[in-house]
Amino acid sequence: MMIIILAICFIIAGCMNKEKTITLAQIKDSFENHGVSMSEEPGLHPDSVFSRAYNDVTPRRFVIDENQIISIYVYTSSKEVRKGIKDFENKTAAADVIPHTIYQIANVLIFYLDESFKDERVDLAVAELLSLTK
> Measured between alpha carbons, how far is 102 from 97 in angstroms, rounded to an integer?
13
Write the pLDDT tens digit of every residue in 4-32. 554 454 555 555 557 899 999 999 999 99
**Do 26 and 132 form a contact (C-beta atoms < 8 A)?**
yes
Write phi, then psi, for 105 (nearest 5 degrees).
-125, 105
Write the pLDDT tens digit of every residue in 44-100. 777 889 999 999 999 999 999 878 999 999 999 999 999 999 999 999 988 888 889
- As beta bridge partners, residue 9 has none
> Measured between alpha carbons, how far is 16 from 11 in angstroms, rounded to an integer?
9
Domains of the chain listed by start with CATH number: 20-132 (3.30.1360)
